[in-house]
A and B are shown apart, each in its own frame.
Chain A
Amino acid sequence: MSRPIILCLLLCFLLLPYQLSFAEHNSETENQFFDYHWGRGLTIPSANLNIGGYLQASYRQPEKRPDAVMLNDLSLFITWSPHDRLRFFAELDQQNWFTSYGNRTFDEALSVERLFVDYLFSGTTTLRFGKFLTPFGRWNVIHSAPLVWTTNRPIVTNDFSFAPRANGLLFSHTHLVNEHNLDLSVYLDDSTDLDPKPNNRIVFDKAAGARINYELTEELQVGFSYLAYQTLADLDLPTHHVVGLDAMWQNQGYEVLFESLYHTRNDAETNLDEKGLFIQGVAPIAGQVFAVGRYEYVNSKVFQNLTNNSVSHIGVGGLAWRPFVPLVVKTEYRFGENNRAIAPSGLFISIAMFY
């Protein structure tokens, strides 16, 4: 498909907001065969099927590097519940399909981001089998461009110390403690046998992990994650261990998000001792415009070869405009110290939306 046709299709998607009641699925449409709402996808009620997705396009102007315009993501979600206790979910993503420095073929750009089936034992207990986002920290499981406040991910969430996707079994349970949700997730990974086309920098061979999240109040949640894994690249070496602590506070449009992690391996030879954290604040300015600021600290010997120093400090300041619920336009400036190789300073602008 030629680039002008693709751009026309994208433009059509962007001009779709003819139906501003996007968020509401109206039961009066139950008798219709299908029902489309902007930002909530196409629903076929009789089949319990929903098809949707999101896209992101960006302009990047990193210092001392060429500028770039790119279609970062064109993602498709398929959700199907054939039975009260069964739920299938798939996310296919065309990543960096079109860029100003060259295009990738459909097959090259295609990645299976998620593909799983959930069996609901009860209202509070679920068993998932398939490929899913590794439940470590907060950003990784909600990383899609329309949901997050910045064009660039924090380094510590981006294939830094663990694979962002796992393949295997995930057991989830929610327990009420003092009328607040305590969410527990335990997972086992066997990516080598289950994922024929891994799309991570780090690829698990085998992994096991757990996560606990507790709602301290309606506004404040805290989480703890632990993960042990081996990768195909270093099967003979001892197991990696990663621990993480995170918290999120949200109130009346204000938000503070904090994540930290520590990554080690229990051998003296490699002396792997990696740590990082970020804290991000969001504040409404006027209407649907929000100010966003983030500080990130990264200390990694893996990056030492690139940066001549294991410690990097990265700052991000920007604005996000959400004129409609499914749509966000972001602009940000990234800066820092010892950051050029891993997160270059510069201007980044993007538009993202659910369709």
Chain B
Amino acid sequence: MRSTILTHFLCLLLLLFFSNNIRADEIFVVIGKTSSVEKLTLKQLENIYRRKTLIGEDGERWNPINLSANNPLRIAFAQKIFQQPPEVMEAYWNAQYFQGIMPPYVVNSVEAMLRFVEDTPGTIGYLLPCQVDDRVRVILKLPVSESLENLCKKEANLH
């Protein structure tokens, strides 16, 4: 009896611990479940999103995708990996266009990002912890300074 109570208490503690760790002030970088990529550093991620790294170690084309430029999650992500907001990066993309390199594709919604990552090999995207589901695999967690909890709340209200 005592051990059952203790087990329940420990489970409750673990639940509380993990629920506290699923914070909205983290951005989860996600890839497809079939991808062979095991880990990425922040700089490798930046090079993929700058289209400086075009293929992965397995020779498959990286296909980074973005949310629209005014999406708060996109802004927080850009600030984290480029230390600049998306609009400032446009000068960089002009220079890349001259080299024949195009910026990442843009999807209009979190659901589109989930589908794109799930369906298209080599695709990499980013989501809030509350938006991640079993269609994708988290490969990197990026702590961000700004609070994005409202985005999760808005999403919850929509559902």
Contacts and interface: CB of A to CB of B under 8 A. Distances in A.
Same complex for A and B? Answer yes
A198 interface: no
Contacts of A87: 54, 100
B98 A142 contact: yes
A26 B105 contact: yes
B105 A25 contact: yes
A354 B104 CA distance: 18
Nearest to B122: A84
A52 interface: yes
Contacts of B90: 23, 325
A312 to B, nearest CB: 29
A179 interface: yes
A94 B129 CA distance: 52
A115 to B, nearest CB: 12
Interface in A132-150: 142, 144, 146-147
Interface residues of A, number: 40
B82 to A, nearest CB: 8
Interface string A304-332: 00000000000000000000011000000
A25 B116 CA distance: 14
Interface in A20-47: 23-28, 30, 39-41, 43
A120 interface: yes
Interface in A74-95: 77, 79, 81, 84-85, 87, 89
Interface in B102-157: 102-108, 112, 116
B55 A146 contact: no
A188 B69 CA distance: 41
A50 B105 contact: no
Contact of A181 (B47, B56, B101): B47
A146 B106 contact: no
Contacts, number: 102
Interface residues of B, number: 41
A179 B41 CA distance: 9
Interface in A242-279: 252-253
Contact of A23 (B55, B103, B112): B103
Interface string B88-105: 101101110111111111
A77 B100 contact: yes
Contacts of A26: 105-108
A113 to B, nearest CB: 11
A24 B93 CA distance: 10
B59 A84 contact: yes
A124 B106 contact: no
Interface stretch (B11-19, B26-34, B60-68): B60-68
Given A27-B106, A218-B83, A146 B94 contact: yes
A54 B68 CA distance: 25
B61 A24 contact: no
21 contacts: A23-B93, A24-B66, A24-B106, A25-B102, A25-B104, A27-B105, A27-B112, A28-B107, A40-B102, A41-B97, A54-B98, A77-B100, A79-B101, A87-B100, A120-B55, A123-B53, A147-B98, A174-B47, A179-B42, A325-B91, A354-B97
Given A27-B105, A122-B57, 14 more contacts: A25-B104, A27-B65, A43-B102, A77-B98, A79-B100, A84-B55, A84-B60, A87-B54, A120-B54, A123-B47, A142-B98, A174-B47, A174-B53, A354-B97
